Amino acid sequence: MAGSGTAHLRTTDDVLVRVENLVVEFPISGGTVHAVSNVSFDLVEGETLGIVGESGCGKSTTARAAIQLPKPTSGSVWFKGQDITKLSKEQMRKVRPEFQMIFQDPISSLNPRRTVNEIISEGLRVWGENDSWTLDTIDELMESVGIDPRYGERKPHQFSGGQCQRISIARALVLDPKVIICDEPVSALDVSVQAQILNLLEDMKERYGVSLMFISHDLSVVKNISDRVMVMYMGKTCEIAGSDELFERPTHHYTRALMAAIPGAEVNVEETSLAGELPSAIDPPSGCRFNTRCPAATDQCRTEEPQLRDVGVSHFVACHHPVLD
C-alpha cells in the first residue's frame, strides 16, 4: 500500500493546485512521527477531491500542510505559478484568502464571544471588500447558506451544530476563495443534518465556482460528494481515481478492505478482514507500509516501496499486486 510517485499528476491548463512530494514529520520524545511521507496530488478547477482514510493516515495533516498550517517539512505546493511553500509568513498570509477551510467541530470553530455577523464578515474587515461580497451583502450570503439574517447578532452557542457549520461555510465563502478545504465537516453532525450540509456544499460549489478538498473517514460520504478520490494509509497514497471508477474497480487491497467494511452496504468486494493493528508512525514498516496487514503481501512488498502507476482511466494505484480484472 502506501506508496509515492507523481505519475498521476495532471498537466492540463485548469490544474489549480499541484502538491508534490509533501512530507510532514515532527519530533516527539522517542523519535519522529512520519505523518505524511511523499504525498502528491493535484486539484483541477471546479473539482472536488476527496481524501479518505482512517485515523492516523495523515489526511488532515496533508491538507493543512498544503496551506502551510503548519509548514510542511518538505515538498512543493504550486498555486498560480508559484511554490507557496517558499513564501515568507507574511507573503503566505496574503495568499490565504484563496484557500479557506471548514472544520470538523462546528461549534468550536466559531469564536463563542463573537456574533455571527462579526464571524462571517471578519474576512472582509481584514482584506477589504471584494468583487463578490461587501459588508452590505453579508445578509445575502447568510441566506444562501440557509441562515436567517435576523439572527445575525446571536452568538454561536445559540445555534445547532448544523447551523454552525453553515456559518462556517459562509465565513469561508466571504473571501471568494478558489479552494475550500473541508476537514471532516459532517462527521460531528447527525445523519439527517449531514445530508443538508453535503447538499449545501454541492450547491455552493456550483454557485460560486469553488473547488473542494473534502477530507473524511466515511467512504460513502466521500463517494457522494467527490469527483476524484485519494485513499491514504499511514501517510502514503494507496490509490487515486475518479469516484465511480474507484468504487467499481478498487484495485488496492486497503481500498478493498475499506469498502468491505462499510456496514450493511452492497459493495462488490469480498469480505476481507484486516489482520493486526496500525503500526507505529514513528517506526513505520519498510517497503509498502501496508504490508503488515495486507492479505496479499509478499517479500517484495516488505522491501520495496510501490510507486503509483496507471491501471485504468485516470486510475492510479501504489501496489505491487493490485487486484486487476
Please identify, using beta-carbon distances, which residue of 167 and 301 lies nearer to another protein.
167
Nearest distance, CB of residue 215 and another protein, angstroms: 14
Nearer to another protein by Cβ, of 5 and 161: the residue is 161
State the nearest-atom distance from the C-beta of 302 to another protein, in Å. 20
Task: Find the shortest distance in angstroms from Cβ 104 to another protein.
Answer: 8
Q: Specify the residue, 54 or 129, whose C-beta has the smaller distance to another protein.
A: 54
The CB-of-263 to another protein minimum distance in angstroms stands at: 4
Rounded (10°) angle between helices 161-173 and 191-208:
10
CB of 36 to another protein, least distance (A): 18
Nearer to another protein among residue 171 and residue 320 (C-beta): 171
Cβ closest to another protein, residue 38 vs residue 48: 48
